[in-house]
Chain A
Amino acid sequence: MNSLLSVIIATVFFTFIGFPISCLLGKITQIERLGLSLLLGVGLGTYCWFILYLLGMPFTLTSLFISGLILILIGLVIVKLKRKSLVTVRLPVFLPLERFLVYIIILVLLIAFIIASYNAITAWDSLALYDFRAHAIVLNHDLRDITASSYYLSYPLLVSLLHAAVYFLGGVNAQGMHTVIFAGFLAIVFGRVYALTNLRYALVAVCLNIFSYELLMHSTIAYANLPYTILLVSGFLHLVSGHKKAISDHLIVGSILIGLSTWVRSTEVFWIIGFILIIWQALQSRNIRLSVVPSMLILLLYSIWHFYHAALVAILAEPPLVMPAFFSRTTLNLILHNLNKIREYFMLYVFYPYLGLWIVSLGLLPASFKLKSFPIKGLTFVIFASLAVTVLGISIFSTYFPTWFQIGDSATRMLMFLIPTITVAGTTALFGISHRGYNEKN
């Protein structure tokens, strides 16, 4: 019971502190604003908590509360400066089929939340890494035992600080928070797809995501893959959503979310695709200044943890992993030598697990050429750029990591973000083809 109450209090707290920054977007649905507030609150709230720790404040409920206050103040100042007025996009009357889909979504989320809250945290990585760090933070109010090993520093702190917040509030199981942030993400998927299509398509997109076994299963365990997926994809969806007037606001919100994805997992480089999307949009609008603030935001959010991590790892006595010069002749020769294995790895862990989604992507190629819709073009670009990054990454990884072939499952999990990206792009493209010449609503 304590855990449930703590999860609920943490949810309300993070949603509340994220709300002012969500007001950067003047015109969105209420449900999306709630989801966006939660994700921004969780991401920026824990980040701010960490920065306060760097400035000398121990991790306590008080410092969490202060970080919340700071975030609210920043949000209010931004909203005041931008003179934003909130306009809620009203939803139409739900027809029986749409109401049925809503009931199904609520039911599945409720069951997933019950499963997550009931089950003990038992997944190995969550025990050994994420939840351990949360308990160590709660016990010591600092990072003393975490900074003593490069293993505990291998991922940034968002998931651990999220769990720590629940434990500080008296909970013993923080797993339910993962279902809550999944719900927040579905709200964003709904809002973004609704902005580009209609109610039915938006609900179908949500259903496709909630009935994705990988996403649903991960919403009931305490791994970092789902929070990473959630922040990265929400970021991509906002980056491609800009409509003439609101373009800079969507770019800013999208870049914050993409930057926050590096606060969950910093080794993946998919955030660079976000950069390209920002510059693409700025070039398209013939206003390169549009890309300055969003790019700086991504870099800022990436850099703080990156430099902190690099400084700590440098003083640890552990032998560093020797990385090759990525574009040297030796690396190229090694890649050519591993080519058959790389192909096998790619088919086993990248292609087959997402076969259906790759077929959707194949259909997206002609659709994105034929339809004059930036969101479809943008998301198709994200999908194929991610594929290129993955192939390049696997090839380079195979040259210096001796057991690379044995950890294919983590490559599959790493690409989990393609599920919502492709399903949203697919749903939007279907609407686009069926309603040619449609206009995006905002």
Chain B
Amino acid sequence: MHSKYLWVHLAILGITLGASFLESVSYIGFVDKHFILPAYTWYVLSVVTALVYRSANFHIAKWLKLLSWSSILIYIIFTISEVLTYPNYIFTVLHINLQALQIFVLLVSFHWLVSQYYLLNTTLRLAKSLIFSALIFVATEGIGLSIAFLIKGLIPIIKHPNATYEDQLYNTHGGFYPAIQLIIQLTPANSLILIPPQGNPWEVEGNAPIVTYFLYPRQVKNLETTIPETNKPIYALIAKGSWPRTSSVDYGWPKVPINARQIWQFDTTNHTFTTYMRNYSPQTDQWDWGLIEVKHE
């Protein structure tokens, strides 16, 4: 009876780990599609048989321990590689599905642990194995992602250890931040700055709270149909659109002529500008970055 039970347990364990491994090298749902029963049915069944089978078997425990540690190590290495390269890197190169591999790690760890705690009563044995293996599952993913995150975060620091806060902003916000610096230089603190509507391709320069952050205490407003009436000096941003175009809206803003005292074309690479004393026309003046000093009507 005892050895018969062992074989049943071993058979179900073998099928379970096999199913999980198959899904690791294909996709989640592969077993369900090709082998009648979904993989998780086997997973649940193996948990039940493992709990029922209560004898010590050091050979099985030894192999499960080995398999568990190696799959944990492999999973961590794969996660780090994936984060340091590009999403889906491991699947592209090795055809291994990381999500499914994580479930494999969980199952192997659970079966290894449950085989260790055969002296505990069933409820506590289930609780301990489940908690421990799930914490391994959580830690394995966390260690991989965290190590990769720290490496990724350290690389720019090692490359440019003396970069200032300003340098960081120039690096992160490309043409936008230099344009903002030129606007600060050209406009008084009490002015109203009109910006494009929020949306593609003006995701950053059309986002009023973000632009306000950089231009404060200047007031920032998305221009709707007409120039608002105010006593403040009014300026309008000229922006091609710094995000790749994904909608039907074309690059370039403002799209209508605006009466102006002067307009400035920005050279964000050299932090300089060229002044033109004329009205703004969308036909000739839709530059990457620039500014219009709006004439009050």
Residue in A108, A129, A211, A426 with the greatest tally of chain B CB atoms within 10 Å? A211
Query: A-facing mask of B109-143, CB < 8 A → 1, else 0?
Result: 00000000000100110111111111101110111
- Residue B154 at the A interface, CB < 8 A? yes
Q: How many whole Å from B226's CB to the nearest CB in chain A? A: 20
B134 engages A357 (CB within 8 Å)? yes
The interface residues of chain A lying within 8 Å CB-to-CB of B146 are 108, 210-213, 216
Q: How many whole Å from B80's CB to the nearest CB in chain A? A: 12
Bound state CA distance, A151 and B172, in angstroms?
25
B130 engages A359 (CB within 8 Å)? yes
- Residue B40 at the A interface, CB < 8 A? no
The interface residues of chain A lying within 8 Å CB-to-CB of B128 are 363, 367, 430, 433-434
A364 engages B131 (CB within 8 Å)? yes
CB-contacts of B204-220 with A (<8 A): 207, 209-210, 212-213, 216-217
A173 engages B142 (CB within 8 Å)? no
- Residue B165 at the A interface, CB < 8 A? yes
The interface residues of chain B lying within 8 Å CB-to-CB of A129 are 209
A172 engages B165 (CB within 8 Å)? yes
User: Given A173-B165, A356-B106, A433 and B141 touching (CB < 8 A)?
Assistant: no
Q: How many whole Å from A435's CB to the nearest CB in chain B? A: 12
The interface residues of chain A lying within 8 Å CB-to-CB of B165 are 3, 120, 172-173
The interface residues of chain A lying within 8 Å CB-to-CB of B134 are 356-357, 359-360, 362-363, 426
A135 engages B137 (CB within 8 Å)? no
The interface residues of chain B lying within 8 Å CB-to-CB of A365 are 127
- Residue A208 at the B interface, CB < 8 A? yes
- Residue B149 at the A interface, CB < 8 A? yes
- Residue B93 at the A interface, CB < 8 A? no
A135 engages B141 (CB within 8 Å)? no
CB-contacts of A388-437 with B (<8 A): 423, 426-427, 429-430, 433-434, 436
A115 engages B150 (CB within 8 Å)? yes
A433 engages B127 (CB within 8 Å)? yes
The interface residues of chain B lying within 8 Å CB-to-CB of A220 are 153
CB-contacts of A120-159 with B (<8 A): 120, 122, 124, 127-129, 131-132, 135-136, 139, 145, 151
B139 engages A208 (CB within 8 Å)? yes
Q: How many whole Å from B35's CB to the nearest CB in chain A? A: 23
- Residue B60 at the A interface, CB < 8 A? no
Interface of chain A: mostly helix, strand, loop or mixed: helix
Give the residue name and chain of the A residue nearest to B137 (CB): A356
- Residue B169 at the A interface, CB < 8 A? yes
Give the residue name and chain of the A residue nearest to B161 (CB): A118
Bound state CA distance, A217 and B129, in angstroms?
29
The interface residues of chain B lying within 8 Å CB-to-CB of A132 are 209, 212-213, 216
Q: How many whole Å from B99's CB to the nearest CB in chain A? A: 9
A111 engages B131 (CB within 8 Å)? no
Bound state CA distance, A172 and B166, in angstroms?
10
Bound state CA distance, A362 and B146, in angstroms?
25
The interface residues of chain A lying within 8 Å CB-to-CB of B210 are 124, 127-128
A119 engages B149 (CB within 8 Å)? no
Residue in A118, A122, A151 with the greatest tally of chain B CB atoms within 10 Å? A118
B153 engages A357 (CB within 8 Å)? no
The interface residues of chain B lying within 8 Å CB-to-CB of A82 are none
User: Given A112-B150, A359-B130, A122 and B172 touching (CB < 8 A)?
Assistant: yes
Interface of chain B: mostly helix, strand, loop or mixed: helix
Query: B-facing mask of A149-191, CB < 8 A → 1, else 0?
Result: 0010000000000000000000011000000000000000000
Query: B-facing mask of A15-35, CB < 8 A → 1, else 0?
Result: 000000000000000000000
A426 engages B209 (CB within 8 Å)? no
Q: How many whole Å from B153's CB to the nearest CB in chain A? A: 4
- Residue A114 at the B interface, CB < 8 A? yes
- Residue A370 at the B interface, CB < 8 A? yes
Q: How many whole Å from B130's CB to the nearest CB in chain A? A: 3
B217 engages A139 (CB within 8 Å)? yes
The interface residues of chain B lying within 8 Å CB-to-CB of A320 are none
Bound state CA distance, A143 and B173, in angstroms?
28
Give the residue name and chain of the A residue nearest to B145 (CB): A213
Bound state CA distance, A409 and B250, in angstroms?
30
Bound state CA distance, A257 and B153, in angstroms?
31
Give the residue name and chain of the B residue nearest to A115 (CB): B153
B150 engages A363 (CB within 8 Å)? no
User: Given A108-B146, A208-B142, A362-B130, A115 and B154 touching (CB < 8 A)?
Assistant: yes
Q: How many whole Å from B215's CB to the nearest CB in chain A? A: 11
- Residue B157 at the A interface, CB < 8 A? yes
B216 engages A135 (CB within 8 Å)? yes
Residue in A136, A173, A359 with the greatest tally of chain B CB atoms within 10 Å? A359
Bound state CA distance, A430 and B130, in angstroms?
10
- Residue B181 at the A interface, CB < 8 A? no
- Residue B55 at the A interface, CB < 8 A? no
- Residue B168 at the A interface, CB < 8 A? yes
- Residue A92 at the B interface, CB < 8 A? no
A366 engages B127 (CB within 8 Å)? yes
Q: How many whole Å from A369's CB to the nearest CB in chain B? A: 8
Q: How many whole Å from B180's CB to the nearest CB in chain A? A: 12
The interface residues of chain B lying within 8 Å CB-to-CB of A360 are 130-131, 134-135, 138
The interface residues of chain B lying within 8 Å CB-to-CB of A364 are 127, 131
Q: How many whole Å from B125's CB to the nearest CB in chain A? A: 9
Bound state CA distance, A363 and B137, in angstroms?
14
Residue in B146, B156, B212 with the greatest tally of chain A CB atoms within 10 Å? B146
A217 engages B149 (CB within 8 Å)? yes
Contact among A112, A115, A135, A430 with B131 in the assembled complex (CB-CB below 8 Å): A430
Bound state CA distance, A111 and B165, in angstroms?
18
Could you list some 29 contacts between A and B, CB below 8 A? Answer: A111-B150, A115-B150, A115-B157, A122-B168, A122-B173, A129-B209, A132-B216, A145-B216, A208-B135, A208-B139, A210-B146, A211-B142, A213-B142, A213-B145, A217-B149, A356-B141, A357-B138, A359-B134, A360-B130, A360-B134, A363-B131, A367-B131, A369-B123, A370-B127, A426-B135, A429-B131, A430-B132, A433-B120, A436-B124
Residue numbers of B with Cβ under 8 A of A are 106, 120, 123-124, 126-135, 137-139, 141-143, 145-146, 149-150, 153-154, 156-157, 163, 165, 168-169, 172-173, 207, 209-210, 212-213, 216-217
Q: Nearest 10 A-B pairs (CB), nearest first? A: A363-B130, A128-B209, A120-B168, A213-B145, A359-B134, A363-B131, A115-B153, A356-B138, A367-B127, A356-B137
A172-B165, A356-B137 provided; 9 other pairs, C-beta below 8 A?
A: A112-B150, A127-B213, A212-B142, A213-B141, A426-B131, A427-B135, A430-B132, A430-B135, A436-B124
